[in-house]
């Protein structure tokens, strides 16, 4: 079966939806950011501050390459889609699902979230967010499946993905 791989912007709920989806499918759950934190021995935000984004991206790719295509659900960091070589790994590992969440909902969630995103720690973070989303939209659309998400509860999103996977196995 391989992995069901959730991709999408910061705040799109990949980890929360992923955990619920794994529960519904009765498979293991993995999270690239969590795996990286274990590997790097520090929170990602700290890693960004000390070593910068490029160093983080190198580790992200190496970590992806070290994963095996077992069954499970994999939540990813929002920027995993930036490197072409990561796409080869994502294809090897399973099926990608883009959580296409309404940008207003994303911004609201990010405002409320306790977890600070290093890329958005700037004065005009909403503008930065919009420009990141614009630059990534076409790349997210390379996903095998897309699920459009508005304001619904994340548990419902997980159920929707489960249904989608049954329709297009």
Q: Which residues of the shown chain bind ligand S3P in the complex (CB under 6 A)?
A: 10, 14, 33, 44, 77-79, 117-119
What is d(CA 97, CA 101) in angstroms, rounded to the nearest whole number? 12
Shortest approach of ligand S3P to residue 109 CB, angstroms? 10
- Phi first, then psi: what are they for 31, rounded to 5°? -145, 120
Q: What is the smallest separation between the CB atom of 167 and ligand S3P, expressed in angstroms? A: 26
Q: How far is the CB of 60 from ligand S3P (least distance, A)?
A: 7
Burial tier of 9 (Cβ tally within 10 Å: 0-12, 13-18, 19+)? buried
Q: CB-wise, 79 or 94, nearer to ligand S3P?
A: 79
Nearer to ligand S3P by Cβ, of 33 and 100: the residue is: 33
Our CB check for ligand S3P shows the closer of 82 and 155 to be 82
**Alpha-carbon torsion (1, 92, 77, 55), positive or negative:** positive
């Amino acid at each position: 079966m391989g992995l069901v791989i959730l991709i999408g912007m910061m705040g799109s709920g990949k980890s929360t939806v992923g955990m619920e989806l794994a529960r519904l499918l009765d498979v293991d759950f993995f999270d690239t950011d969590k795996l990286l934190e274990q590997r790097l021995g520090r929170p990602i935000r700290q890693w960004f501050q000390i070593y910068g984004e490029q160093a983080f991206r190198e580790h992200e790719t190496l970590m992806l390459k070290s994963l095996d295509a077992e069954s499970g659900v994999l939540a990813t960091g929002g920027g995993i889609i930036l490197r072409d070589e990561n796409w080869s790994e994502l294809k090897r590992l399973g099926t990608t699902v883009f959580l296409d969440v309404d940008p207003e909902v994303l911004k609201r969630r990010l405002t409320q979230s306790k977890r600070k995103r290093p890329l958005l720690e700037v004065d005009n973070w909403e503008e930065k967010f919009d420009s990141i989303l614009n630059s990534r939209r076409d790349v997210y659309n390379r996903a095998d499946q897309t699920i459009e998400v508005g304001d619904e509860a994340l548990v419902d999103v997980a159920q929707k993905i489960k249904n989608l996977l049954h329709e297009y196995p």
